[in-house]
Amino acid sequence: MVRACDRGEGKFDTLTKALRLATYTVDITDNKNVFKPGHEKIVERIVYLATDIYHRARVANDIRVKAVEDLQERNRLQNQAIAECDHLLSEIQIAKGVFHLRLKRIRYWGGMVEEVKGYLRHWRDSDADRFRKTKR
């Protein structure tokens, strides 16, 4: 058994971080004092992106890589989630101006998105490395 402090970052950390991002996003966008009515489309896109990042990571995690096709599908989902992180960052920047969000909130929220994006990239790259090593 590996001690918790000796474990590296893994796909479960990615899922945990993505879930935390999704729930945080849903929670803060539900605050009608900050995300005032009249801009529901922006809020819907933001929530959709945050929850979709988590869903894609979950689906990718459920793919057991036994062949190149499995890895390609998993990689496609990981890449989509990474692209959605970039899209979410853009939407957060738009929301900053529309809803006059505090810089502190933007830094925290954007930091969460960047962290998830980094975890997704690391997971995708480690999958590719592991698959390459098994095919030698």
**Rounded CA separation 21/113 (Å):** 7
The reply to whether 2 falls in a domain is no
Answer whether residue 3 shows pLDDT above 50.
Answer: no
pLDDT per position as a tens digit, 56-105: 999 999 999 888 899 999 999 999 999 999 999 999 999 999 999 999 99
The total domain count for the chain is: 1
Q: What is the span of the domain harbouring residue 97?
A: 10-23+33-134
**CATH number assigned to the domain comprising residue 125:** 1.20.1440.60
Q: Which of 1-10, 49-58, 76-85, 110-119 has the lowest mean pLDDT?
A: 1-10
The reply to whether 4 falls in a domain is no
Confidence at residue 135, expressed as pLDDT on a 0 to 100 scale: 65
